[in-house]
Amino acid sequence: NERQEGRPSKQRLLVVANRLPVSAVRRSVDSWQLEISVGGLVSALLGVKEFDARWIGWAGVNVSDDIGQRTLTKSLAEKRCIPVFLDEEIVQQYYNGYCNNILWPLFHYLGLPQEDRLATTRSFQSQFDAYKKANQLFADVVNNIYQEGDVVWCHDYHLMFLPQCLKRYNSNMKVGWFLHTPFPSSEIHRTLPSRSELLRSVLAADLVGFHTYDYARHFVSACTRILGFEGTPEGVENQGKLTRVAAFPIGIDSERFIRALELPQVQDHIKELKERFAGRKVMLGVDRLDMIKGIPQKILAFEKFLEENPNWRDKVVLLQIAVPTRTDVSEYQKLTSQVHEIVGRINGRFGTLTAVPIHHLDRSLDFHALCALYAVTDVALVTSLRDGMNLVSYEFVACQASKKGVLILSEFAGAAQSLGAGAILVNPWNITEVAASIGYALNMPADEREKRHQLNFMHVTSHTSQEWAATFVSELNDTIVEAQLRTCQ
């Protein structure tokens, strides 16, 4: 082992997230195909190399038989992943229900789904019970593999109950919790029937992290106003117990993108795309097909731009990659039809026999195709209505070293706080403003593009996912040492 060979062994890091970085597709009774999952958390943690990391999470598939569970556990072990098995009922109530129909829209200031608001309110308690049950199942798996000295890092709104479950098993466990979405104003959090239980559980962690200072501040306010605890510069204090709360803005593995651009297959893609869209400026949107991403609003803004600028109609194309997500939740199904309807209408209105203004794809692209697309883009449109951080904006910047394209970025994405100086910031609800920004971006002189790009590029390449994870874990280790010192005093 590493210690015997005189090399210090890496600290074991147990990353617990609802979704594993791979999702499993069953090929036969005992064989599985593993595919990389989409999402910001996955792309950030894939770049983290300095810990002996293991992932604990759901493989995105229902496996109720012993052979299936055994063989999947074995296949995943090769990827250092440990599955948590959730049955269909739990997935329905916990994942589709409480996580994606209640917490997700609420944390993004979208409120409960309009049409079935009352039904959601009625099923609230049973969904919350399923949420707690699911969190307990995650805790059981963590507890089984936990060894003294491990760091346990819980992720996201799916697992707000986990810190408390883990500390009940072992109060000495080092537990961190990080939220990848916004934490909303305490006035929004107050409306949640389970508001106090969730806050108390998160506070059982030693360190609580958010992408921005604002989210951290909202969380501390919720704890002071709802629980009556004390907010301090370090975090939240109650009866002598301090939970550290801080902002840790995530980044990407920028080198991975920069290196990919040199690969022959990516260069081939770039060449094809340049030929395909010769004579037209390329605008790009890459989003999960989620209501927080503001895809309909973005497309309407593009329509307005075409309406007001007839000279641009055959000179610009919008490529919108909309990766399907949470397809069992009815709000997402409605959104898909809505987007298709708008795209169809605009293409009918402004298309010609040889060209359409919007290319809309309902699927993900492989990594190399995505890098090529980022590289040929003139203007990227990231117009989320709310977004924890938004790493598409970072990925675009990383791939723009030669083109120096423009980033139009929502002021409601966490990334606006780090890329605000180089991007054009917009209010995504204001389609007149977004349409005007599209015009500004397409006409921007080269020296301004260069300056803006440099600011963003410097940020993206110096604030990486590796650094993010290392900072969080070292802060967690320090927090525990400080707490021990305080108890000794």
Give the residues across from 288 on adjacent strands: 323
Nearest to 178 by CA among 44, 59, 82: 44
- Give the residue, chosen from 11, 92, 123, 325, that forms a contact with ligand G6P under the rule CB under 6 A: 325
Q: How many CB atoms lie within 10 A of CB 470?
A: 15
CA–CA distances in Å: residue 77 to residues 25, 54, 369, 404 = 16, 9, 29, 42
What is each CA distance from 63 to 59, 84, 143, 343, in whole angstroms?
9, 10, 21, 38
- Dihedral sign (CA 343, 345, 351, 354): positive
Q: Which residue is nearest to ligand G6P (CB)?
A: 39
Stretch that binds ligand G6P, among 34-42, 217-225, 226-234, 426-434 (CB under 6 A): 34-42
40 makes contact with ligand G6P (CB under 6 A): yes
Q: Is 96 in the site for ligand G6P (CB under 6 A)?
A: no
Task: Judge whether 482 and 242 are in contact, CB under 8 Å.
Answer: no
* Cβ-based nearer residue to ligand G6P, 200 or 326: 326
First-to-last CA distance in the chain?
A: 38
39 binds ligand G6P (CB under 6 A): yes
Q: Does 181 bind ligand G6P (CB under 6 A)?
A: yes
377 neighbors 370 (Cβ within 8 angstroms): no
Record the tokens describing residue 406, joined without a space. Answer: 């423009």
Work out whether 287 is an interface residue with ligand G6P (CB under 6 A): no
What phi and psi, each to the nearest 5 degrees, are found at residue 391? -90, -10
Residue number, 87 or 307, with CB nearest to ligand G6P: 87
User: Of the two residues 58 and 350, which places its CB atom closer to ligand G6P in the complex?
Assistant: 58
Q: How far is the CB of 141 from ligand G6P (least distance, A)?
A: 18
In the complex, minimum distance from the CB of residue 23 to ligand G6P, in angstroms, rounded to a whole number: 9
Q: Does 41 bind ligand G6P (CB under 6 A)?
A: yes
Residue 326 touching ligand G6P (CB under 6 A): yes
Least distance in angstroms from the C-beta of 42 to ligand G6P: 7
DSSP helix/strand/coil, 360 = strand
Q: Residue 378 or residue 387: which is nearer to ligand G6P going by CB?
A: 387
Among 44, 156, 251, 266, binds ligand G6P (CB under 6 A): 156
In terms of CB distance, is 92 or 325 closer to ligand G6P?
325
Which listed range, 37-45, 68-76, 116-124, 357-365, lies at the site for ligand G6P (CB under 6 A)? 37-45
For position 180 contacting ligand G6P by CB under 6 A, the verdict is yes
Residue (325 or 427) nearer to ligand G6P, CB? 325
> Please, which residue, 156 or 395, has the CB nearer to ligand G6P?
156
d(CA 420, CA 393): 11
How many residues touch ligand G6P under the rule CB under 6 A: the total is 9
- CA dihedral over 216, 220, 221, 222, signed as positive or negative: positive
Residues 207 and 176: beta-carbon distance below 8 Å = yes
* Nearest residue to 377 (alpha-carbon basis) of 437, 443, 455, 319: 319
Residue whose entry in the numeric block shows the structure tokens 């939240």: 236
User: Interface with ligand G6P includes 19 (CB under 6 A)?
Assistant: yes
Footprint on this chain of ligand G6P (rule: CB under 6 A): 19, 39-41, 156, 180-181, 325-326
